[in-house]
Structure 1
């Protein structure tokens, strides 16, 4: 068949529609069996051991990773390797989650007598409610689909998608049940931009001490301009005698001032500053500071303590350098 743009789009949409329907049908399987599976996983004193062969194994690996990153310790064991020594990874404190669409995968079934002998709870995730795996399990989650998205009905497509979604349903339900927080999530994701967004706080990147642009309320515009030029943050805080912030003067304020023909050497900065400016705490997440800047359409923020005294400053460039964007 020659490549045809419209035909390719038609085929792609058909696959998505079939798999979307398979996911929608899963809602009926959120029932007592699902609840029992959640309880077994929640009460697990050891780790969740996920097993699966072939495409189910790939999905199992993803489910194990999702569980582990959301507060339920888990790891994947290849059933073929398990039969040659890796079964020793399973202890009596664990729970096994076994994936097999047919429920008759030989490499998985071979492990069942050992799992039963250990007395380890077994959760089956399969598309065949009459299968050996389903019958041997302590609870069985049905992930059967009406049809595979593959037109030959051979390549696991809808079935693997359904299993993956059901795994997410288990993981997120357990996350909520455990009271798992953003801080908990951050501890298991310290690397990369995700870790930075979850862990980095304003106090970690703000300019402090002599690097903090600040002028007293009695200062003239010329004084403020010199401070802004020296500190290179595109702004300066305006403070009272006790260092309490009363306003901010930014590049934007400077541009708006130019049309007023003011004498910068005689005009007080308080006449052109922005009073009641946005300020933030040094303890908030840097990602929250970014959100505030975006919402208020500003490029810099003054950081204050509980008494509203200036303790730091940061601008959009600082957040970009820190990898928050």
Structure 2
């Protein structure tokens, strides 16, 4: 079969048409959201087990993604393949769970055994389908109806717009649960410890050096001793404390500015008072911004009383992938 020679403009126009078609379908869906949406969210919120997703073909791929999104945002979830369910995996679905079954037509034969299982054991079932009057829609406790809009392909048969709508609906469910549960960044990192995203959510307390590694001197410490502390700890700074609280920091820059008579001075006299610090519960990404903006190599970490509890070096952030 001879491949047609199309211009870049025509090819780009096809792509734009598909995106516009699916975008318009999403806007229509948002403006006509199925009234049962809040009922589905409430059932999922009250679920004492896990949210079980299932579907076949393209709907199966969408179900896997929704399950993954739920699990990563604080709602325990997993995917069960309909065919595997018919050969023993029904045992994975328990009475305390909630099932979400996806089928555009609502007549997917392979979902039959899961539907029967949920009815037999009174397991709440949510259907995502375009046809609420279908076998799936009729059997469900809650039916989330997809709008009856055409697929994005010219022949109107390839699952395109319908799968986009299902996927977006799954995201809407997940985000609603996140907000109702007041899911926070620190919770998010629990489920995303790896990669760039995990690095962005690392806290200062997880990277800082603490205990004996923290370079601290008393306010009246002679500079000869303060320099030894700066050198031995290897951070290029020394925190200056009085009554256990941080009042200043001596840096390499402070040494250069006080070269004349340096050894006759105390740490208090040389230090930069009221220095820039960071809290242990701050994100390491925030600490890196401070380090870069102030053009410094290390930060002292303080608690809510301004007592020093650690020190963070810019290289600690970079090694952890915070950049």
In structure 1, distance between residues paired with 2:140 and 2:264 = 84
| Residues 26/15 of structure 1: CA separation in 2 closer, same or farther (3 Å cut) | same
In structure 1, distance between residues paired with 2:42 and 2:306 = 48
In structure 1, distance between residues paired with 2:72 and 2:262 = 57
In structure 1, distance between residues paired with 2:307 and 2:160 = 59
- State the Cα RMSD in Å: 3.2
Equivalent residue runs for 1:204-243 within 5 Å: 204-218=206-220, 227-240=229-242, 242-243=243-244
Whether the 8 Å CA contact 1:99–1:124 is kept in 2: the answer is yes
In structure 2, distance between residues paired with 1:311 and 1:111 = 55
Whether the 8 Å CA contact 1:22–1:145 is kept in 2: the answer is no
3-state SS of 1:246 partner: strand
Asked whether 1:20 is paired with 2:18, we answer no
Q: Tell me the CA shift for residue 6 of structure 1.
A: 3.5
Q: Tell me the CA shift for residue 22 of structure 1.
A: 2.0
Whether the 8 Å CA contact 2:34–2:145 is kept in 1: the answer is no
Q: Tell me the CA shift for residue 165 of structure 1.
A: 1.0
Asked whether 1:149 is paired with 2:147, we answer no
Deviations 1:134-171 (A, max 9, x none): 22222211223523233333322221111111001111
User: Once structures 1 and 2 are overlaid, which stretch shifts more, 49-58 or 305-314?
Assistant: 305-314
Equivalent residue runs for 1:161-176 within 5 Å: 161-176=164-179
Equivalent residue runs for 1:40-59 within 5 Å: 40-59=43-62
Which residue is 1:66 aligned to? 69
| Residues 9/233 of structure 1: CA separation in 2 closer, same or farther (3 Å cut) | farther
Asked whether 1:124 is paired with 2:127, we answer yes
Q: Tell me the CA shift for residue 115 of structure 1.
A: 2.8
In structure 1, distance between residues paired with 2:108 and 2:140 = 14
Which residue is 1:75 aligned to? 78
Equivalent residue runs for 1:133-282 within 5 Å: 133-144=136-147, 146-195=149-198, 197-198=200-201, 200-218=202-220, 227-240=229-242, 242-251=243-252, 257=257, 262=260, 264-265=262-263, 273-282=271-280
3-state SS of 2:309 partner: strand
Q: Tell me the CA shift for residue 63 of structure 1.
A: 0.9
3-state SS of 1:159 partner: helix
Whether the 8 Å CA contact 2:237–2:250 is kept in 1: the answer is yes
Please give the TM-score of this superposition, normalised by the length of structure 2: 0.82
3-state SS of 1:32 partner: coil
3-state SS of 1:102 partner: coil
Q: Tell me the CA shift for residue 68 of structure 1.
A: 2.2
| Residues 7/189 of structure 1: CA separation in 2 closer, same or farther (3 Å cut) | same
Structure 1 gap segments, 5+ residues each: none
| Residues 247/21 of structure 1: CA separation in 2 closer, same or farther (3 Å cut) | same
Please give the TM-score of this superposition, normalised by the length of structure 1: 0.82
3-state SS of 1:314 partner: strand
Whether the 8 Å CA contact 1:145–1:162 is kept in 2: the answer is no
| Residues 125/297 of structure 1: CA separation in 2 closer, same or farther (3 Å cut) | farther
Whether the 8 Å CA contact 1:125–1:163 is kept in 2: the answer is yes
Q: Tell me the CA shift for residue 270 of structure 1.
A: 5.3
Q: Tell me the CA shift for residue 74 of structure 1.
A: 1.8
3-state SS of 2:36 partner: helix
Whether the 8 Å CA contact 1:290–1:316 is kept in 2: the answer is yes
